[in-house]
Amino acid sequence: MTVPRDESWLDGDDGRLVRPYTVSNGRTSPAVSLDLLSMVASTGEAPPSPLEPDHEQALTLCREPKTVAEIAARLRLPVAVAKVVVSDLVEWGAVATEPPRPADESTDRVTLERVLNALQRRL
């Protein structure tokens, strides 16, 4: 019986069979600066193959733009490891990243006032 490539890294309820530091080849910091809210999207460029299962899954997730935090959650990896995986994909040209946009202060104030008003009505 053949086991799909990505399933061989998981053991049901026990979780991953491969330790996170193995996924990142022992690297603890990404080569590319990434924020939790950095948006990541596929460029359509072909990365070197064969890809490791986590790189392949991350690239598949990035067909639609995702944040680094969402990628980490979906891959069930610590954020530091997910950043290394995404960084590898960036270096290979397979994905592009965009830093989070700063919040517009006027919009934030309006939103906060609405939340405050709604809370005051409930109390």
For the cut 80, the answer to whether the pLDDT of residue 69 exceeds it is yes
In a domain, 76, yes or no: yes
In a domain, 89, yes or no: yes
- pLDDT above 70 as % of the chain: 70
In a domain, 23, yes or no: yes
Give how many domains the chain has, as a whole number. Answer: 1
Return the pLDDT at 30: 66
What does the pLDDT average to over 64-90? 91
For the cut 50, the answer to whether the pLDDT of residue 2 exceeds it is no
In a domain, 1, yes or no: no
Least confident of 1-15, 33-47, 78-92: 1-15
Task: For the chain, give the secondary structure using H, E and C.
Answer: CCCCCCHHHECHHHCECCCHHHHCCCCCCCCCCCCCCCEEEECCCCCCCCCCHHHHHHHHHCCCCEEHHHHHHHHCCCHHHHHHHHHHHHHCCCEEEECCCCCCHHHHHHHHHHHHHHHHHHC
* pLDDT bucket at 57, cuts 50 / 70 / 90: very high
In a domain, 2, yes or no: no
Residue 49 is part of which domain span? Answer: 7-122
* pLDDT bucket at 27, cuts 50 / 70 / 90: low
In a domain, 24, yes or no: yes
